[in-house]
Homo-oligomer: A and B are copies of this chain.
Amino acid sequence: MVKLQVDGRKARGQKRRTELIAATLRIIERDGVAGVTHRTVAAEAGVPTTSTTYHFSSLDDLLVATLISCARDMATEVYWMIDRARARGSRGAEEVAGLLAEALGPRRGRTMAEYELYLLAARKPELRPAARRWLDVLTSMVRHDDEVAFRVFLAGIDGLLIQGLIDDEAPSAEELRPVVDYLLKPR
């Protein structure tokens, strides 16, 4: 017999865990991974310091959980972007350019957080599947007859994003458009 009514205590615990992850992500966006400590996370979430150690066996665990959650969100976003593009029969250039401009503009902090994940994944193999998630979503959803061209497209997206992060001002969707067009154009 499966219990339908969940344990209220566990539900509260789960809720606080997600709140801690959300608070951690906000801190990473604002100050980077370096700014994440038990105390800063707890203060951001408005909970006592020891709450983090109770719900996560270590700071590293909290960091890993946060970045995995962040990667899942990004993969979901990529999924819906493709879905939107398909709905209107587009080849996707406009959607991709718009998403890039957004990632480098209003969502700049989030984008930095995602590349902190990349770098952490480079050192921690257990994070790599999470870091590759959005790549996998794209690979599985998009038909690519030209394997090489597709790899170039994926690399180009990452390159545009990380180079956009060290630009003094974020590029607009219009500026990115020709580059994205070039990346998507078949030959």
A binding-site residues for B, Cβ under 8 Å: 32-34, 112, 115-116, 118-119, 121-123, 125, 128, 131-132, 135, 148-149, 151-152, 154-160, 162-163, 165-168, 178-179, 182-183, 187
Q: A168 — which chain B residues lie within 8 A by C-beta?
A: 125, 128
CB atoms of A152 and B32 under 8 A apart:
no
CB atoms of A121 and B34 under 8 A apart:
no
Which of B123, B156, B166 has a CB less than 8 Å from the CB of A156?
B156
Q: What are 26 sample pairs from A and B whose C-beta atoms fall under 8 A apart?
A: A32-B123, A33-B34, A34-B34, A112-B119, A112-B122, A115-B119, A115-B162, A119-B119, A122-B165, A122-B166, A125-B168, A128-B166, A128-B168, A132-B166, A148-B179, A148-B182, A151-B179, A152-B183, A154-B159, A155-B155, A155-B156, A155-B179, A158-B162, A159-B160, A162-B162, A187-B187
CB atoms of A152 and B179 under 8 A apart:
yes
Beta-carbon nearest neighbor of A146 in chain B: B182
- CA gap between A91 and B34 in the complex, in Å: 42
Q: A183 — which chain B residues lie within 8 A by C-beta?
A: 152
CB atoms of B131 and A182 under 8 A apart:
no
Within the complex, the shortest CB–CB distance from A26 to chain B, in Å, comes to 15
Rank and list the top 7 A-B pairs by shortest CB-CB distance, nearest first: A155-B159, A159-B159, A158-B159, A122-B165, A155-B160, A121-B166, A131-B166
Q: A166 — which chain B residues lie within 8 A by C-beta?
A: 118, 121-122, 128, 131-132
19 more contacts with CB within 8 A, not counting A128-B166, A158-B158, are A32-B119, A33-B34, A112-B119, A112-B123, A115-B122, A118-B162, A118-B166, A119-B165, A135-B163, A148-B179, A152-B152, A152-B183, A155-B159, A155-B160, A155-B179, A157-B159, A159-B162, A162-B162, A187-B187
